[in-house]
């Protein structure tokens, strides 16, 4: 891994870290031609990317979840648990109403949109 101080980002070969990148974690990256300029490809930065393992979708869709509304703070989340809502949640995503993703849901019945799922 190397750091470019003038541009303020790290570069890394994905093949070097493929076993440690976690699903749904966010990363930045630099894409450049490997081994020279045979095709004169220009380097470019990816501001944000995540690893998308097809198995993740199937895994969290089978987990027990609940919509949790905090009326005092005005926040709403969908939280997924390992087993029947016991212990700390594994993942969470903001829960919205109205289908746009800007207004927090006020009841579980009116959740129409969720934000990004993050591992806790």
17-38: average pLDDT = 68
pTM greater than 0.75 (yes/no): no
Average pLDDT over residues 46-74: 79
Q: Please, what is the end-to-end C-alpha distance for the chain in angstroms?
A: 26
Task: Quote the mean pLDDT of the chain.
Answer: 79
**DSSP 3-state of 96:** strand
- Going from N- to C-terminal start, the domains of the chain cover 2-52, 57-119
Supply the pLDDT for residue 83.
Answer: 83
Q: What mean pLDDT comes out for the span 9-27?
A: 67
| Residue 25 predicted with pLDDT over 80 | no
Q: 103: pLDDT confidence band, cut at 50, 70 and 90?
A: very high
> How far is the C-alpha of 80 from the C-alpha of 88, rounded, in Å?
9
pLDDT of 52 above 90: no
């Amino acid at each position: 891994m190397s750091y470019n101080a003038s541009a303020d980002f790290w570069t890394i070969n994905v093949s070097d870290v493929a076993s440690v990148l976690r699903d749904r974690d966010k990363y930045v990256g630099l894409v450049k031609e490997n081994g020279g300029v045979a095709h004169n490809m220009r380097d470019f930065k990816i501001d944000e990317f995540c690893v998308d393992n097809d198995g993740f979708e199937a895994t969290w869709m089978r987990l027990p979840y609940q919509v949790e509304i905090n009326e005092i703070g005005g926040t709403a989340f969908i939280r997924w648990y390992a087993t029947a809502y016991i212990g700390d949640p594994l993942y969470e995503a903001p829960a919205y109403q109205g289908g746009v993703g800007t207004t927090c849901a006020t009841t579980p019945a009116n959740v129409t949109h969720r934000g990004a799922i993050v591992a806790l």
